Amino acid sequence: MSKVIVECVPNISEGRDLDKVNRIVDAARIEGVKILGVEPDPDYNRTVITFAGTIKEVENAATLLIEKAIEEIDMRMHSGEHPRMGCVDVCPFIPISNATMDDCVEVAIRVAKQIA
């Protein structure tokens, strides 16, 4: 059977301090996860990060990234053009190969439980 691959696209509330962005992205650089994109926007003070891998690897990487974002980003000091809900505004999981939307919903629920 082929690997089940999912993508994760968290949006973090930091787009100006690139050292901080890099530390947050580095938290997701684990074996089996490929970082596909890092797109900081200083005006909005947000960064869109895209990575992919197997379900378990992406689940672990997302959890590590969110934990690092919580550690690094002080929302009391945040400003930017985009409305924000927290250190990580959204963290969608997208089915890529041999994965279903139900698989991605289950991953999202597990990650939410780990960081709650």
- Active site (annotated) includes residue 82: yes
Which residues are registered as beta bridge partners of 6?
A: 53, 95
Instruction: Give the list of residues 6+ apart from residue 98 with CB closer than 8 angstroms, or none.
Output: 1, 2, 3, 4, 5
CA distance 17 to 112: 26
Instruction: Exactly one of 3, 37, 82, 112 is catalytic; name it.
Output: 82
Catalytically active residues are: 82
